[in-house]
Amino acid sequence: MKSNGLIKVVLRLGISLLLMWWVYRKMPIATLAENLIHIQWSLLPWVYVLLFLNTALSAWKWQILLRSNRLSVGFPRLFGSYLIGTFFSIFLPSSIGGDAYRIYDIARATRQSATSFASVLADRLSGFLALSMVALTATVFIAHRLDRPQLMMVPLLGITALLVVIGLLFSPDLMLRLTEKTPLARFPKVQTFFERLLAAFAQYRSRPTVLLRIMLISFVFHCSVALCVALMARTLYIRTDLIYFFGFVPVITLMEALPISIYGLGIRDFGYAYFFSMVGMGPLQTRTLAIFFVVVNLIYALSGGILFAVTWIYNGYRSSSHSD
């Protein structure tokens, strides 16, 4: 089992390295480094303001989901958990690491592992659905402007797949009948966990106002992400119509979510190079923006790592004090 996990990590790392080589094989490293140094430093703090705002929006949405299942967790705890999850997402495929930490952290606080899992899953699904809708709305306009209707395919496929998954989760009787025909039925504890998960989703389904609120927050969040990347481009003296960021950034984010790379490396770079080259960005600009995005987010994620270290030290100190 461990060898299979190692093979998957090696494959993902290989895909990331291969795509990175292909995207950057003709790029002068010295020029890339110079572009990253000579930026509009006065704009950089505003990029981080948007990143913290996005984390706050995510924590707020998560709190709404938990409250709909009668779980009360303070906003600071959820904000901190989300921030630490961002740090863990660096090391594992897609955002799996961050989600796993958030589930563990809130399950420890509430002692409701199935409901905690459901809240993170609902958070993720609603986010991807809003992401796909933002992408589709923008790419309809972009596809017409560039005469490339194929640009709408990725968000359309994303919306279709997500609606199927959400529809199944909102149909507990159907899901339970399906699981009875799988090996899952042989494990009572796993089956019970799954039933509680579906019960949590039934609560979301019975509260349309909750669904509306989390979708609205998700839309604001992903619009803010697109604005954040546009501001990063402006920080690098790159000027491109804002509509392209609303169309391309969500599509690239959907591509990054595929668990076939490490932290989206390679896939993200390919996305920036492919999509933004359609609208006049040069090869050097697209690659610089892709690298700058990673650097900015790595620095931001380090704040989650620092918070995790401080929390771990504090909890260890408190435990030792109580034992004395």
pLDDT at res. 294: 92
| pLDDT (average), residues 67-81 | 91
Give the residue among 88, 99, 148, 128 at the shortest CA–CA distance from 254: 128
pLDDT, tens only, 229-273: 999 999 999 999 999 999 999 999 888 887 788 878 889 999 999
Q: In sequence order, which residues have a C-beta less than 8 Å from that of residue 41 and are 6 or more positions away?
A: none
User: What does the alpha-carbon distance between residue 318 and residue 323 come to, in Å, rounded to a whole number?
Assistant: 9
Tell me how far apart the terminal alpha carbons of the chain are, to the nearest angstrom. Answer: 41
Higher pLDDT, 3 or 271: 271
Whether 155 shows a pLDDT value over 60: the answer reads yes
Counting residues of the chain whose pLDDT is more than 70, the rounded percentage is 93
Counting residues of the chain whose pLDDT is more than 90, the rounded percentage is 44
pLDDT at res. 78: 94
Residue 93 banded pLDDT, cuts 50, 70, 90: low
Whether 47 shows a pLDDT value over 50: the answer reads yes
pLDDT at res. 288: 95
pLDDT at res. 91: 67
Torsion, Cα of 5, 9, 15, 16 (10° steps)? 160
pLDDT at res. 10: 83
pLDDT, tens only, 264-312: 888 999 999 999 999 989 999 999 999 999 999 999 999 999 999 998 8
Torsion, Cα of 115, 119, 125, 130 (10° steps)? 150
Q: Which tokens hold the place of 214?
A: 């989390």
pTM of the model: 0.88
| pLDDT (average), residues 202-216 | 90
Residue ranges covered by each domain of the chain: 11-314
pLDDT at res. 284: 93
User: What does the alpha-carbon distance between residue 223 and residue 315 come to, in Å, rounded to a whole number?
Assistant: 37
* DSSP secondary structure of 94-121: TTHHHHHHHHHHHHHHHS-HHHHHHHHH
pLDDT, tens only, 12-30: 888 889 999 999 998 888 8
Residues 62 and 78 sit within 8 Å (Cβ to Cβ): yes
| pLDDT (average), residues 108-125 | 88
Residue 1 banded pLDDT, cuts 50, 70, 90: very low
Q: Which tokens hold the place of 26?
A: 């003709």
